Structure 1
Amino acid sequence: MMKTSVWNQLKSYQSTETVQKFLEKSYKKNQQTAPAELSYQNSYPFVYHLKHAENFYLSSACAALPVQPMLLFYGMSQLMKACILTADPEYPATSSVLAHGVSTRKRKKQHYRFLQDEVKIQRNGLFAHTASHLFKLEHVENDKYTMHELLKRIPEISDLFTRHKQKNVHFRTKYENKQLHIPVEAAASYHMTPGRLLEYFDYHFQLSRGNHSENIITCYPPDHFSAFYSLPFLYNGQTGEYTLPASMNDLAGLPEFMAHYLLLYNLSMISRYETEWWYELMLSHSQDDYVFIVRFLEVTKEKIPQFALMFLNELWEKG
């Protein structure tokens, strides 16, 4: 049977008649004033953001690898703007929220390595606005993230860390019957007992305490748990499994959706302004950076549209 592409599924959200009703329900749920008027105003911008995103992503599919980061970054930005309109009917209320909201070194140092590079979050802009309205993350300004940290948020490329860095970065878990089953090795990795780990998850992530045996720790996720809202777990779109970061320092990391934005931002900047380094890497394959970047681009072009579809479908079902 032919699999319906994510963009065909997103076509349901490209009808202004449907979108207006969808947004009105969302605004009423959030107790916005004049939800009918706001949903009418935002139905066309919402549809146009989705359509523009689709064109960027479809263009990236047939574009040469060196220019894909720019197309994917702007495509993701358009998807984010559509998602924001479901929560913030006044977007963009000011021009400050239109900025990318991220900064990086404009000139790369000699012996530059992509995985060691970092980005810094700014007070205003699309990143902070999305983090606040979609994930309830506040005060993210001045936070810094290395590309290595961000790539570890993407479980589909964990095998690259095992092969190239000799490092296990994820524990595989099982999610069935609304229960999460975690290997006891995870607790040992965090220097906790299984009971202490359950307390930690309950306090920090609202994961209801379950029980533990010799091999498995069981807990219960909150009602809003999904591939899009799964912290501290990360969703592997290729296997359908949830994984846990192997390092305790990574448990409170960014939602994966936001990690993709930061990675694409930096890659798009490199593609535009660091042409010499970029093409040396693309043509010579001289660093492990190449392997991580290519795999990430393969994953993000499929996963981010899927994340956007999941987000919208969950809102639709709850509405």
Structure 2
Amino acid sequence: MKAFTWKRIQRFHSATLTRNYLTKRYNQINIEDAAAKAYDNCYSFIYYLEQGEAFYEQAAKTPLSIRPILLYYGLIHLIKACLLSIDPYYPHSTTVLAHGVSTRKRKRKDYQFFADEVKVQKNGLCTYFSERMFHVKHLEGEKFKMGELLELIVELEESFSFLKEKSSMIELPIRKGGLHIIPNQLLNSYHMSESRLKEYLSYKCKKEIRWGENMEGHLTFNKSIGNVPPFRYHIQKDSLWLPSTIQELNLLPDLLIHYLILYNLSMISRYETEWWMELIKTTPNDDYPFIRDFLDITEIKGPFLIDNYLRENSNFTLYDK
């Protein structure tokens, strides 16, 4: 999957293809002189992708102790390419160049990663790409706990089941005709009737849900919904899942979740060396396996999310193989 994703991203290394792609995107959002803007931004777009890939390549070869830094900066460059595909004037000011997130620099003696928080700032890349790419607004001042964000990484569901003895996600199996089935377990977990659940998901999801007829006593819907919150696409199992509990965090896009966790891990790796190295060398608690598993997942999932975003804006879909 990892090599396949990078091959698709590498298609944009063609200046001709990239100019055509950017021209199309700029025309879709009614930018004047779209072709000229595409010409101006063509190589910046390609260089962002190439630099991002270089960081990911090095992260795959480097010790775990510095992987978060490389993965974080790799993701930043890929996000900048996405922004350039929808904003020909990016970066229009220095305010959008900051990280846009802050964290406590000095950790307490009894520090635990799951309880740690990051705070979203008014200006910076975090708020800018969240609003421009996903229309997620009003993040300024919001605090996010690492444990709550990790629960939304669907590929960690087995880790939560084994290490925390809790189910963070519920799988939506596919039946004949390509329909997803919503298990009764989800109805019980959400404390909702079928009609209330349909109403809730239809309201929260930013993409139209095409509901099917009940099958085997379960709600069904067409699988073309894709990776749109609160739905989560499991890249390793090629399946859709929903969070096992209802909370506002369920609506955060995957790319933002990966960005926030990677930001914090990169800061810890740089500034909390004693705690970080002790974690890696002695693995004293459950933090280590979750962090290790997350880094393995984000190395694959981050580029996948970027590729999917670029392809969706070129009339591709998540399931277009």
Q: Is the 8 A contact 1:79 1:308 kept in 2?
A: yes
Once the two structures are TM-superposed, the CA of residue 4 in structure 1 deviates from its matched residue by 4.8
Once the two structures are TM-superposed, the CA of residue 38 in structure 1 deviates from its matched residue by 0.9
Once the two structures are TM-superposed, the CA of residue 195 in structure 1 deviates from its matched residue by 1.4
Once the two structures are TM-superposed, the CA of residue 179 in structure 1 deviates from its matched residue by 3.6
Identify the residue that residue 256 of structure 2 maps to in structure 1: 258
Distance 1:284 1:192 in 2: 44
Once the two structures are TM-superposed, the CA of residue 316 in structure 1 deviates from its matched residue by 2.2
Residue from 288, 291, 305 that aligns with 1:307: 305
Task: Provide the aligned C-alpha RMSD in A.
Answer: 2.0
When normalised by structure 2's length, the TM-score is 0.92
Q: Identity across aligned pairs (percent)?
A: 39
SS at match of 2:247: helix
Once the two structures are TM-superposed, the CA of residue 9 in structure 1 deviates from its matched residue by 2.4
Q: Is the 8 A contact 1:202 1:209 kept in 2?
A: no
Q: Is the 8 A contact 2:19 2:42 kept in 1?
A: yes
Q: CA 1:317 to 1:103, structure 2 compared with 1: closer, same or farther past 3 Å? A: same
Identify the residue that residue 154 of structure 2 maps to in structure 1: 155
Q: Which amino acid aligns with 1:216?
A: H
Identify the residue that residue 124 of structure 1 maps to in structure 2: 123
Identify the residue that residue 95 of structure 1 maps to in structure 2: 94
Identify the residue that residue 30 of structure 1 maps to in structure 2: 29
Q: Is the 8 A contact 1:23 1:39 kept in 2?
A: yes
Q: Is the 8 A contact 1:202 1:208 kept in 2?
A: no
Distance 2:229 2:2 in 1: 29
Once the two structures are TM-superposed, the CA of residue 133 in structure 1 deviates from its matched residue by 1.5
Residue from 267, 272, 276 that aligns with 1:269: 267
2:232 pairs with 1:234: yes
Q: Which amino acid aligns with 2:170?
A: F
- For residues 49-198 of structure 1, the aligned pairs below 5 Å read 49-175=48-174, 177=177, 179-198=179-198
Once the two structures are TM-superposed, the CA of residue 301 in structure 1 deviates from its matched residue by 0.4
Distance 2:291 2:2 in 1: 27
Q: CA 1:76 to 1:40, structure 2 compared with 1: closer, same or farther past 3 Å? A: same
Distance 1:211 1:196 in 2: 16
Once the two structures are TM-superposed, the CA of residue 208 in structure 1 deviates from its matched residue by 4.2
Q: What 5-or-longer segments of structure 1 have no aligned partner?
A: none
Once the two structures are TM-superposed, the CA of residue 182 in structure 1 deviates from its matched residue by 0.9
Q: Is the 8 A contact 1:156 1:236 kept in 2?
A: yes
Q: Deviations over 1:142-198 (max 9, x none)?
A: 111111111111111111111111111111103565643210211111111111101
Q: Which amino acid aligns with 2:63?
A: A
Once the two structures are TM-superposed, the CA of residue 314 in structure 1 deviates from its matched residue by 2.1
Q: Which amino acid aligns with 1:180?
A: H
Distance 1:23 1:191 in 2: 46
Q: Which amino acid aligns with 2:220?
A: T
Q: What 5-or-longer segments of structure 2 have no aligned partner?
A: 317-321
Q: Which amino acid aligns with 2:149?
A: L
SS at match of 1:248: coil
Residue from 173, 191, 216 that aligns with 2:218: 216
Once the two structures are TM-superposed, the CA of residue 211 in structure 1 deviates from its matched residue by 4.5
Distance 2:216 2:273 in 1: 53
Once the two structures are TM-superposed, the CA of residue 213 in structure 1 deviates from its matched residue by 5.7
Q: Deviations over 1:199-226 (max 9, x none)?
A: 11122224344444664212347x7x33
Q: Which amino acid aligns with 1:204?
A: K
Q: Is the 8 A contact 1:245 1:251 kept in 2?
A: no
Identify the residue that residue 296 of structure 1 maps to in structure 2: 294
Q: Is the 8 A contact 2:169 2:243 kept in 1?
A: yes
Once the two structures are TM-superposed, the CA of residue 250 in structure 1 deviates from its matched residue by 5.5
Q: Which amino acid aligns with 1:107?
A: R
Report the more deviating stretch, 113-122 or 262-271.
Answer: 113-122
